Amino acid sequence: MSEILQRQTRVKADWIDYNGHMNVAYYVLVFDHSTDALLETFGLGEAYRQRENKSFFVVESHVTYQNEVKKDDLLVVKSKLLGYDTKRLQIFHEMFLGETGEKCATNEVMVLHVDMGTRKTTEIAERFKPHLQAGVDGSLANGFPDMCGRAIKKLLNK
C-alpha cells in the first residue's frame, strides 16, 4: 500500500467564506473524513469501535495550505500511514484539485488508541501490527513526505 485514494468530494457552497474560498474548518472536515477512511482500510473504523469498544482520537493535527480551493472544485485526498507504536498512529494526508492535480493542502495527524469504556489510551492489539507495518512500508517507499514534522516558527519581535 503506498498512497491510498481515500476520498473525493466537491466543495459545497456553504463551505465558502467571505474571502471567496473554502473556509479552513472544511479542510479539517475533509481531512477528518479521510482519517476515518484510512482507519477503515486497516479494520480500525466504526465497525471496530462497535465490536471492540475501542477507537482513535486525534491528539494533534497540523494543516498547511498551498493553494486556494473554491466552490464546486473536486478535491482528491491521498493518505499515508507514516508510523505507529503501541498506542498511536501517525497519519499524513495530501489534498489535490481533481481537475488539475495541483496540491492544495496537507494534514499531519497523531491519533491515540482509546478504550471507549474507560476513555483512556490502550494498546493496539498485536493482530493489527503486521497490516499496519505493511501500510507504513508502502507509504514510506518513496521517503518521508517533505511537509511532515512542520511547526509554526516563533516570530521574533524587534
- pLDDT tens-digit map of 29-69: 999 999 999 999 999 999 999 999 999 999 999 999 999 99
Q: What pLDDT was estimated at residue 3?
A: 55
pLDDT tens-digit readout, 15-39: 999 999 999 999 999 999 999 999 9
Per cent of the chain over pLDDT 70 is: 97
pTM reported for the whole predicted model: 0.92
Provide the terminal-to-terminal Cα distance of the chain, rounded to the nearest Å.
48
pLDDT tens-digit readout, 86-105: 999 999 999 999 999 999 99
Q: Under 8 Å CB-to-CB from 93, ≥6 apart: which residues?
A: 6, 31, 34, 35, 77, 78, 79, 80, 106, 107, 108, 109
pLDDT tens-digit readout, 71-80: 999 999 999 9
Domain boundaries, given as residue ranges, for the chain = 4-139
> What CATH code would you report for 4-139?
3.10.129.10
